[in-house]
Amino acid sequence: MASAGADWSDVVAVDSFHIPAAPDSVGDDHNRVMVEQFRKRMGDRAPIWTQIGVSAPGALMMRVEIRATAVVPARQSSG
């Protein structure tokens, strides 16, 4: 995000891909950690959040993979 000029205040949506803790639930531990991190990074702002259960993450040993979408306002040039 930083390389694109965005920070957590620009995030409008988060998709999180989880290995489910049970067949019918992503898991309370995952939810708790995600909410804690959202509050730490975004305060009272709440982006759209979609949790998706997957059978395998993008890399070995990962339990959660996260994709954030940010909208960065156009910056006016000073020239």
Query: Is the confidence at residue 75, as pLDDT, over 80?
Result: no
What's the CA gap between 78 and 17, in Å, rounded?
Answer: 41
pLDDT digits (tens, 9 = 90+) for 36-50: 999 998 888 889 999
At 35 the three-state DSSP class reads helix
* Per-residue tokens: 72: 């960065």
Mean pLDDT of the chain: 84
What number is the average pLDDT over the span 16-43? 86
Residues 6+ apart with CB under 8 A from 51: 16, 18, 26, 30, 31, 34
What's the CA gap between 27 and 20, in Å, rounded?
Answer: 6
CA proximity to 5, closest of 79, 78, 75: 75
Q: What is the pLDDT of residue 16?
A: 92
Listed by start position, the domains of the chain span: 19-70
pTM exceeding the 0.85 threshold for the entire prediction: no
